[in-house]
Amino acid sequence: MRLHPGHLLALVALLGQQTVVATLVNSNLIRTVTLGASAYVTEQIGVVVQNTDTHATHTSYRVWAGDAAKLERLASLHVHERKSGRELPVTKKDDMEYVVTLGSPLAAGEKIGLSIDMVYTQMAQPAPATNVGQEDDQRWAWDDQLLVASPYATRKQKTVVSLDGNTNSNGGTRLVRHEGARGSRDPDTGSVVFGPFNSGDTAGRGRVVFVSNAEHVEATGLQREYFVSHWDDTLHVSDACDVRNAGPSTPGGAIDGVQRMMSRFTGARDHLIKSFVVHVPGTAREAFFVDAIGNVSTSAIGTVGKRQKAVHVMQLKPRYPLAGGWRYAWRHGYRVPLGEHLRRATDGRFHLHVPFIERLVASSSSDKHLAVPDHSAAAVLDYELRVTLPQGACNVELRAPFEAEYRIEHAKHYLDAPGVARPVVVVSMRNVPPAVMGQNVVVSYDYSWAAMWLKPAAIAACVMGLFVLASVVSRLQFGLAPAASKLKSKAE
Amino acid sequence: MAYKVFGLTASDQTSLLRIAILGLISIVAVGSRLYSVIRFESVIHEFDPWFNYRTTRYLVDNGFDKFWNWFDETAWYPLGRVVGGTLYPGIMVTSATIYNALHLVNIPVDIRNVCVFLAPAFSALTALATYQLGKEVKNATAGLLAAAFIGVAPGYISRSVAGSYDNEGIAIFLLVFTFFLWLRSVRLGSALYGALTAIFYFYMVSAWGGYVFIINLIPLHVFALLVMGRYSNRLYVAYSTFYVLGTLASMQIPFVGFQPTFTSEHMAALGTFGLIQLVAFASYVRTLVPSDQFRMLIRLSILGLFVVGFGGLVLLTMTKVIAPWTGRFYSLWDTAYAKVHIPIIASVSEHQPTAWPNFFFDLNMLIWLLPAGIYFSFRELSDNHVFLILYSLFAAYFAGVMVRLILTLTPIVCVMAGVAMANVFEIYLDFSKTKAEAENMAVATAPAEKEKEKGKSQGGAGEPPVAVAAKTLYETAGFKRFYALFPKIVVVANFLYFLCMFQWHCSWITSSAYSSPSVVLASRGPDGSHHIIDDFREAYYWLQMNTKADAKVLSWWDYGYQLAGMADRTTLVDNNTWNNTHIATVGKILASDEDTAYELARRHDVDYVLVVFGGMLGYSGDDINKFLWMIRIAQGVYPDGFKEEDFYNAAGEYAIGDTASPTMRRSLMHKLCYYRFHEVMGPQGFDRVRKQKLPKDITLDNFEEAYTTENWMVRIYKVKDLDNYGRSHHAVSAFEGPRFKNDFVF
């Protein structure tokens, strides 16, 4: 393994910290890693923490989410107290470390059970990176340190790697092999257990290879834009997506044209992503699906499911099927009546409720019928939400049921009068966790009637000004002598 | 007597009506060009527009300075192309100006949409310019008719539908408007209009190579007027102003540079400029010298000048100081010239001579109104009419030899048709005179009738009453009125019918023939359903997304601009066709056997080879059908390599598959098109374009299939890297077997 500068940093930090907090120990730690059909990998660390000091101390607990490479892939980190189930506040101290506030100091010898839930992207990589045949199983490898890094001494720990039971039409997941110290397979659960390891043991890295034929898609760039128009009574929604099939690549990076042709009729499995499905509101109108070189001709909107469970979906078929490692970038969108998302409070303030992000589900099925695959959404590695408010909106703020930092930018569109810009609320997020998907954010702003009439007034003033100017110019005489036609008409 | 309506006088009413009609004409002109956007989408069409679009985007993104100095290393690899110095920047600058103006008032329009709708917007301007031209040479009626004709004439629409983002889209407006300004400057003798002519001529030079037509036609007009003895100070002022300012301005375009001083295309203008100076001088001398001496003087001068001038021209041409005419111009005199000498020009379909039905197809009834217009111009024959006649004759000739030049014929045909029809309507729509005549006749015949009645009563009842009744019928006032009106009504009704049919024809042609983007194809299923075939964009976008940013793609030159525009990858040759050798090299690679092609391709750093194949869908514009041109062009540069005859089989047929000649079967093009094709089409499968049986057992070792589109229209192959063990790729393939195994057994 190559030594990453981040690893060194982590090591230095580890050594430095360990000397400082010798009085708090992890008396027992069990890490459960769940692999499977999802593009996300979850890690749950159950740890019993004990204050070994002689007096009450330690109001916080420090968590290392892993080395620098792993931190890059961290999507979310939540900590609960196991006994009460209470979520504990977590703050990011620096690039490496998160601090959990425990509330009251731990009494001497007191133990507290913590549950640390982490979600990562890109933790499972295709192995081998290239498949021999297009229809071969997709194999993935999870590879990580077997000992959980912590600033505290850990007396006993083990890592359990379990496979998600979620099965799908492509054959579900199945364990192939495991490598690593003290690894064994639990015959009852099918999980792989590494450990237990006691304080002072060395373990190195562990590796679990498994088969998952589900679609593993990463959105390397995703941008959602809401454009609020009060005059039009419309909310324009558009998503710019740049996705990559994270699965094993095909031989020579190519796909078999003959097999592609034939699988249209036979429906044979080929791991090529043939469509994406996104939810759209039933009132969506003027949907579009374009990429850098124009409309993509193949797309459909329809209802899936029965009665109450029916949902409206938009099926987007990319220009070409995506083999492992292939990219595709596009933009889709629609408009919905603004009233569905905007409310005016009694104090006159406007509140816009909109989904923070829409799930993007990939499908490799050749089935021509519209269907929503039941497996999880694409992993979103880089996300940006932009909400463009009308010209003159002010006192803008964004509230979300999760931690989201936002900034306000300014933009101008459609004959906006000079001097007054449209506020744009921008939220950027790396590694969007699945829990956030489907949640709404609320953008609140003030918008006076004067601001609303500003543009029509400005345009009317411009037109009037032009009219007056034309009228004045037509009455002025620029020539040295009066024009012949005018003389003639005077003579008449 | 003039009635006031809404307080407007009759002349105000006419002005208002004229503006309203012109507005409607503009709307129709724009509207009829939008079929392609409605049927397909707002997309750039065909081939050259993709280059214009790409350069416009570059201009918008990087500013004028960078655009002007742009060296594009991704074209004509490894030579590159000095883009700023080898294009007519008019259309790009126009679009970028519109784009920036719209953004200045915060209208966030996409540059693609500006480019797509530029030609329709300019067609509305062309209609206005044609109105001015018609008004200048005849009257407002002729102008309005001409504007209505040019608005919908398919000859112009063919090059200006939405998405057809090419130089001609704005150039026709500039052509017409420059001619209008020229005619006005000649009529008024105005230096101001002469200068305006020069400015619009400069705009035209910056926009289209067809400016050569202006710089030859205007001198020709001047020359004709001089020969006809119609020299005037007005002409002198107009031409001198125009030529000096126009030429200086045109030299500011890098692509034109010093050409106006040394190329044959511009010599007529220079010569005429000299001539008019001499004529002006002569006419001045005439006022000073007695007429006998003057005659002698003028004869001697003409003789001397002719000898010196002609000798000088020949000498300068022979010493190559004056560049000879370019190949494309030679093919204007001799239509077979290009086929023999320059296959690359002959291979382009729009450079072929025009078939007769094309004139009717593109101009409908206007083509037979053209001679009528010429006739009416001869009847009046002012300076302006001389111009119209010259323009008609020359444009008609050029349109006959090269199909794309119907475009330059269309404006004059519309003006002439407008003049002709205005003359017809002047006579046949003037019912006031008819009414008066009929009434006069009725009054004149009334006493005679009374006389006859008198005679009848005197002569008794011997005469048959029927005859009396017949006489009465012919000679009644009502009948005479009808007799006077009937021919007018018939003629007017006929022409209205023709006008309706013209509009019908134009809409139909526009809709069915000129509104296909060619980048996207459409087909209809047996149940009438509409299918979009989008293989080109599928392949181009795949290249853009899934190959290295600096990958070099080899394809026939037709697809060069599209590859650069849509796939954003480096190409070896493109539609600029400036380097025949390079194109011939590409032709040679495609026509050679696999090993030779591999070696040549690697020498040119080629990563991918792209071929267009219509065998599955029946798309006849594919590379196999263009292959003979590739061979001819390659053969012209590499005569020792192969011969065109080698690609015909023993029966002399251009065949594919197992009946093809061995050279054809070995050629890379044949292999790339048909590789594994029989596996999808089955043992009885055949090529749907050639209607021939497919070849089997095509082996391909040095190239590997990278991507084949949904309908197999575009096939992309990767040029393999050298083997790590130094083996030949044939040996590697023999050892490893095929990469993809066919599990489908028919």
Two tokens, residue B360: 């009717």
- Whether B466 has a pLDDT exceeding 80, the answer reads no
pLDDT in tens, B9-54: 888 888 899 999 999 999 999 999 999 899 888 999 989 999 999 9
Query: What's the pLDDT tens digit per position in A436-485?
Result: 988 999 999 999 988 889 888 988 999 999 999 999 998 888 776 665 55
Q: What is the mean pLDDT of chain A?
A: 85
- Collect all residues of chain A within an 8 Å Cβ-Cβ radius of residue B43: 293-295
Residue A258: predicted pLDDT:
85
CB A228 within 8 A of CB A390: yes
State yes or no: pLDDT of A13 exceeds 60: no
Q: Between A251, A319, A414, which is nearest B106 by CB?
A: A414
Total CB pairs under 8 A between chain A and B: 92
pLDDT of B531 strictly over 60: yes
Strands B714-719 and B608-612: antiparallel
Beta bridge partners, B326, equal none
User: Which residues are paired to A397 by β-bridges?
Assistant: A444
The mean per-residue pLDDT over the stretch B681-692 comes to 86
A192-198 and A183-185 beta bridge pairing = antiparallel
For residue A293, the chain B residues in CB contact (below 8 A) are: 43, 537, 540-541, 544, 565-566
CB A129 within 8 Å of CB A249:
yes
Which of A258, A297, A414 is facing B532, going by the closest CB pair?
A297
| Contact list, A325 vs chain B (CB under 8 Å) | 546
Q: Which residue in chain A has the smallest CA separation from B542?
A: A320
pLDDT exceeds cutoff 90 at A65: no
pLDDT for residue A6 is more than 70: no
Q: Which residue on chain B is closest to A288 by alpha carbon?
A: B41
Q: Could you tell me the pLDDT band of residue A18, with boundaries at 50, 70 and 90? A: very low
The pair of three-digit structure tokens given for residue A43, joined into one six-digit string: 């890690």
CB within 8 Å of chain B, chain A residues 126-165 = 133-134
Which of B53, B105, B106, B561 is the best mutation test for A, with the most CBs of A within 10 A?
Answer: B106
pLDDT band at B442 (very low <50, low <70, confident <90, very high): low
CA distance A284 to A69: 41
Instruction: Give me the CATH topology for the region B532-736.
Output: Rossmann fold (3.40.50)
Interchain CB contact of A484 with B (< 8 Å): no
Neighbours of A387 (CB within 10 A): 24
Query: What is each CA distance from B659 to A90, A248, B613, B644, B651, in whole angstroms?
Result: 77, 42, 19, 17, 10
Max distance between CA atoms of chain B, in angstroms, equals 130
> How far A114 CA sits from the closest chain B CA (Å)?
45
Say what the pLDDT of residue B708 is.
Answer: 93
- Choose the weakest-confidence range: A201-205, B139-143, B313-317: B313-317
pLDDT-derived band at A15 (thresholds 50, 70, 90) equals: very low
Percent of chain A surpassing pLDDT 70: 89
How is residue A427 written in tokens? 């939220």
ipTM score for this prediction = 0.89
The candidate with the shortest Cα–Cα distance to B552, out of B4, B80, B29, is B80
Neighbours of A128 (CB within 10 A): 12
Task: Output the pLDDT for position B459.
Answer: 45
**Between B551 and B642, whose confidence is greater?**
B551
B611-648 pLDDT, tens digit each: 999 999 888 889 999 999 999 899 888 888 778 888 99
Distant-in-sequence contacts of A412-416, Cβ < 8 A, 24+ apart: A412/B106, A413/A227, A413/A388, A413/B106, A413/B107, A413/B108, A414/B106, A414/B107, A414/B108, A415/A455, A415/A458, A415/A459, A415/B105, A415/B106, A415/B107, A416/A391, A416/A455, A416/B106
Binning chain A into helix, strand and coil, the percentages to the nearest 5 are 15, 45, 40
Q: Mutate which of A319, A410, A422 to disrupt the B interface (most B C-beta within 10 Å)? A: A319
Which residues of chain A from 228 to 267 reach within 8 Å of chain B, CB to CB? Answer: 251-262
Instruction: Tell me: pLDDT of A4 over 60.
Output: no
**Looking at residues B388-412, what average pLDDT do you find?**
91
Highest mean pLDDT among A134-143, B302-311, B541-550: B541-550
Q: What is the pLDDT of residue B325?
A: 65
pLDDT of B223 strictly over 80: yes
Residue B160 has pLDDT above 80, yes or no: yes
Q: Across the interface, which of A258, A292, A294 has its CB nearest the CB of B41?
A: A294
The per-residue pLDDT for A486 is 54
Residues in B lying within 8 Å of A, measured between beta carbons: 40-43, 105-108, 520, 532, 534, 537-538, 540-542, 544-546, 565-566, 676, 679-680, 704-710, 712, 715, 718, 739-744
Residue type, A253: G
Residues 6+ apart with CB under 8 A from A81: A88, A112, A113, A114, A115
In Å, how far are B89, B236, B264, B276, B592 from B261, measured between CA atoms? 21, 21, 9, 18, 44
Least confident of B342-346, B449-453, B480-484, B527-531: B449-453
pLDDT at B517: 87
Give chain A positions within 8 Å (CB) of B538: 319-320
pLDDT above 90 (res B551) = yes
Say what percent of chain B tops pLDDT 90. 52
Interface probe for A, chosen from B740, B742, B746 (most Cβ of A below 10 Å), is B740
Nearest to B707 among A254, A414, A416 (CB): A254
Interface test with A, best of B112, B115, B537 (most A CBs within 10 A): B537
DSSP run (H or E) holding A13: helix A5-20
Q: What is the pLDDT of residue A190?
A: 82
A378-389 average pLDDT score: 94
Indicate the pTM of the whole model: 0.88
Nearest to B203 by CA among B161, B155, B256: B256
pLDDT in tens, B83-112: 988 899 999 999 999 999 999 888 889 999
Contact A161, A194 (CB under 8 A): yes
Convert the pLDDT of each residue in A292-321 to its tens digit.
888 887 678 888 877 777 788 888 999 999
Considering only A3-7, A26-30, A199-203, B254-258, which range has the smallest mean pLDDT? Answer: A3-7
Position A17 scores a pLDDT of 46
Provide the pLDDT confidence category of residue B200 given band limits of 50, 70 and 90: very high
Q: Identify the pLDDT of residue A16.
A: 45
Position B330 confidence tier, pLDDT thresholds 50, 70, 90: low
Compute the nearest-CA separation of B180 from chain A (Å): 21
Q: What is the pLDDT at residue B524? A: 80
* Selected residue of A236, A263, A293 to mutate for chain B interface (largest B Cβ count, 10 A): A293
Provide, as residue numbers in chain B, all residues whose Cβ is less than 8 Å from the Cβ of A262.
680, 744
The confidence score (pLDDT) of residue A2 equals 47
Summarize pLDDT for A95-116 with one digit per residue, the tens: 778 999 988 888 888 889 999 9
- Burial (CB < 10 A; 0-12, 13-18, 19+), residue B518, is middle
Which tokens go with B152?
């919908």
Domain boundaries, chain B: 170-323, 433-494, 532-736
Tell which residue, B154, B192, B159, B191, has the closest CA to residue B175: B159
A133 CB neighbours in chain B (<8 A) are: 741
pLDDT of residue B461: 45
Structure tokens at B429: 């729509």
Mean pLDDT of B393-415: 91
Q: Tell me: pLDDT of A399 over 80.
A: yes
How high is the pLDDT of residue A375? 63
- CA B416/CA B366 separation, integer angstroms: 8
Taking residues B670-696, report their average pLDDT: 87
